[in-house]
C-alpha cells in the first residue's frame, strides 16, 4: 500500500465511520502529509505498512524544534490515530507510535471577554458599512450577537441555514461535530438582529448552492471561516480592545458568563454540544470568587 492510497482510505474512514467534518479530516491528514514530506526530503523509502518507530522518532525530533508541546502532542496523537486505523483494517499489527511518549502539557485555560468588552466590540460595528451595495454592517452585528448569545463554533455559524431558525419556539438547530444536531435557545434581541440581516439578505442575488445559508458574503455565497476571523480581527482593531479575540473567544465567554450567573453545568454542556461533561468543566475555574459566593450563600455552616 502506498501513502496516497492509505490517506484516501483513511479520509473515507474518518468521514463515513467517524462522521468527522471536512476541517477535522484535513487536520488529521495534515500530520500524515508532514511525515511524507519529511520522508521525501530525506530520501527515506518506506511505506505506511513497514515504517518503524525509529523513523517516526527521527521525524518527530526534527519537527519538534519548531513546535510547542501542545502542537507536538497533537502531531503525535494524529499519527497514532492513523496507524491505529491501519491496524484496525489489518494492514499492520503494531503502531510505531506506541513507544513514543506524548509531551506533558497543562490544560490551557480559555480566554474570555467581559460583558463590557462585548459591548465595546458591538458598539464599534459600523452598521452603515456597505460593500457593492450590500449592507454588511448589520450582517456583522448579527454574527457577533449570535456567536456570543448562542455559543456557536465558527464552523457551526457558517453552516447555519434559514431552515434552522425556529424563532417562534425560541430555538435554532445547530449541526456540530460529527454532524450531531442540537437545539440551542436564542433570545429575542438576537432574533431581531438576525431578522434585520435577513431583510437585507432578501435583496441579494444568492448563489443557488447557498439559497438556504443564513450568512452570506456580498456576492451571495457562503461565508468561510477565514472571513469570520477577518471580520473579528478588524472589529477588535477598530474598538481599541487590547485582547486576542477569535470566534471561539465568544463561545468561551458565553459559557463563562452563564456559569457566573448560576447556570447549571449540564445545561451549558447541552448548549455547547460537548459530548462529555468533563470538557465543559474547564469553565469551573474561571470565577472562583463566584464559587465562594455560592458557598457562602447556600452552605448551612457558613
Give the residue numbers marked as catalytic. 153, 177, 248, 251, 274, 283
What's the distance, CA 119 to chain centroid? Answer: 23
Is the CB of residue 96 less than 8 Å from the CB of residue 56? yes
Show Cβ contacts of residue 27 under 8 Å, excluding neighbours closer than 6 positions. 78
45 φ, ψ to 5°?
-95, 110
Q: Give residue 295's Cα distance to chain centre.
A: 34
DSSP string, 91-118: S-SS-TTTTPPPPP-PPPPPP---HHHH
Cell of 165: 431558525
| Burial class of residue 235, CB neighbours in 10 A (0-12, 13-18, 19+) | buried
SS3 86: helix
Which cell numbers in the block locate residue 149?
A: 448569545
DSSP E strands: which ranges in 112-208?
A: 130-131, 134-135, 165-166, 171-175, 181-185
Amino acid at each position: 500500500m502506498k501513502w496516497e492510497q492509505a490517506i484516501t482510505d483513511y479520509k473515507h474512514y474518518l468521514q463515513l465511520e467517524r462522521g468527522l467534518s471536512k476541517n477535522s479530516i484535513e487536520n488529521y491528514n495534515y500530520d500524515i502529509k508532514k511525515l511524507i514530506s519529511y520522508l521525501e526530503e530525506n530520501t527515506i523509502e518506506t511505506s505506511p505498512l513497514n515504517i518503524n518507530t525509529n523513523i517516526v522518532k527521527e521525524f518527530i525530533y526534527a519537527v519538534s524544534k519548531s513546535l510547542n508541546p501542545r502542537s507536538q502532542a497533537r502531531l503525535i496523537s494524529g499519527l497514532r490515530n492513523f496507524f491505529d486505523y491501519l491496524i484496525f483494517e489489518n494492514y499492520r499489527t503494531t503502531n510505531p507510535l506506541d513507544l513514543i511518549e506524548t509531551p506533558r502539557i497543562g490544560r490551557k485555560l480559555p480566554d474570555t471577554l467581559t460583558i463590557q468588552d462585548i459591548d465595546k466590540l458591538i458598539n464599534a460595528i459600523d452598521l452603515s458599512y456597505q460593500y457593492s451595495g450590500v449592507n454588511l454592517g448589520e450582517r456583522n452585528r448579527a454574527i457577533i450577537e449570535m456567536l456570543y448569545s448562542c455559543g456557536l463554533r465558527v464552523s457551526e455559524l457558517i453552516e447555519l441555514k434559514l431552515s434552522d431558525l425556529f424563532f417562534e419556539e425560541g430555538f435554532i438547530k445547530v449541526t456540530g461535530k460529527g454532524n450531531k444536531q442540537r437545539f440551542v435557545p436564542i433570545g429575542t434581541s438576537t432574533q431581531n438582529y438576525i431578522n434585520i440581516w435577513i431583510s437585507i439578505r432578501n435583496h441579494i442575488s444568492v448563489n443557488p448552492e447557498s439559497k438556504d445559508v443564513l450568512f452570506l458574503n456580498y456576492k451571495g455565497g457562503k461565508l468561510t471561516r477565514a472571513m469570520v476571523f477577518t471580520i473579528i480581527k478588524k472589529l477588535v482593531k477598530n474598538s481599541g480592545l487590547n485582547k486576542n479575540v477569535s470566534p471561539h473567544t465568544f463561545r468561551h465567554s458565553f459559557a463563562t458568563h452563564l456559569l457566573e450567573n448560576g447556570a447549571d453545568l449540564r445545561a451549558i454542556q447541552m448548549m455547547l454540544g460537548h459530548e462529555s461533561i468533563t470538557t465543559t468543566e474547564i469553565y469551573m475555574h474561571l470565577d472562583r470568587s463566584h464559587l465562594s459566593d455560592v458557598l457562602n450563600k447556600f452552605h448551612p455552616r457558613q
